[in-house]
């Protein structure tokens, strides 16, 4: 039995995460396990981490349910200490094979003795969390759900867009100061 681990902050769950989890799920055999590890569990309601761990879990569960993907979800506090991160995270996700497209995470886990699989990802820059959050922030005060769906569909799975709309989870993005002012 093998355990495949996908790690991310999922702020929000976007198409890059979908690709990564699908890539990991393709590796999972009948007796294997897939674990989705949500990092920065303690973070939420702040510019770089607008959604709580419970909200991110709900987004992932909505997507998993629609896709019929079986995976366990664990949440991990961020200790802001990369050299000790893997040992800290291991307590939550256990041992296994990390599936990632992030080079620094890959190196941290390799250095700790983990096997790492790195699926090739086209246009990784398009799916960087900050880009997705900025796009969502621009839409946070748009009160036309169809327009929000149309713009976000290139970066966020439809079921997650619906979750964000139904839970009024985009609005809070408009409350964060960007440090950039027009005029």
Residue-level pLDDT at 177? 63
Task: List 6's β-bridge partners, or say none.
Answer: 36
Q: What is the pLDDT of residue 145?
A: 93
Rounded distance between C-alpha atoms, residue 24 and residue 26, angstroms:
5
What H or E segment, with its residue span, contains residue 74?
A: strand 72-75
* Local confidence band at 121 (pLDDT 50, 70, 90 cut-offs): confident
Q: What is the pLDDT of residues 34-77, one digit of tens each?
A: 999 999 999 999 988 999 999 999 999 999 999 999 999 999 99
CB 166 within 8 A of CB 44: no
Dihedrals φ, ψ of 28, to 5°? Answer: -75, 125
**In the predicted model, is pLDDT for residue 181 greater than 50?**
no
Say what the pLDDT of residue 180 is.
43
Mean pLDDT of the chain: 91
Tell me the pLDDT tens digit for each residue of 163-180.
999 999 988 888 776 544
The radius of gyration of the chain's CA atoms, rounded to the nearest angstrom, is 17
Position 71 scores a pLDDT of 97
pLDDT at 90 over 80: yes
For residue 72, the Cα-to-chain-centroid distance in whole angstroms is 14
The architecture CATH gives domain 3-117: 3-Layer(aba) Sandwich (3.40)
> Is 126's pLDDT higher than 90?
no
Highest mean pLDDT out of 44-53, 85-94, 114-123: 85-94
Which of the four pLDDT bands, split at 50, 70 and 90, describes residue 110?
Answer: very high
- Helix-then-strand count for the chain, H and E: 7, 5
């Amino acid at each position: 039995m093998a355990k495949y681990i996908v790690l991310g902050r999922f702020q929000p769950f976007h198409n890059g995460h979908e690709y990564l989890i699908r890539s990991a799920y393709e590796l999972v055999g009948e007796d294997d396990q897939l674990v989705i590890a949500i990092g920065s569990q303690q973070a939420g309601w702040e510019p770089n981490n607008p959604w709580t761990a419970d909200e991110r879990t709900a987004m992932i569960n909505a997507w998993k349910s629609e896709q019929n993907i079986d995976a366990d979800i664990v949440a991990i506090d961020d200790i802001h200490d990369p050299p000790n991160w893997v040992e800290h995270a291991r307590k939550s996700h256990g041992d296994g094979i990390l599936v990632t497209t992030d080079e620094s995470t890959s190196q941290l886990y390799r250095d700790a003795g983990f096997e790492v699989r790195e699926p090739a990802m086209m246009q990784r820059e398009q799916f960087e969390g900050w880009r997705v959050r900025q796009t969502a922030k621009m839409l946070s005060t748009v009160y036309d759900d169809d327009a929000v769906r149309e713009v976000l569909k290139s970066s966020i799975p439809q079921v997650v867009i619906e979750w964000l709309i139904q839970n009024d989870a985009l609005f809070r993005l408009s409350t964060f100061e960007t440090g950039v002012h027009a005029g």
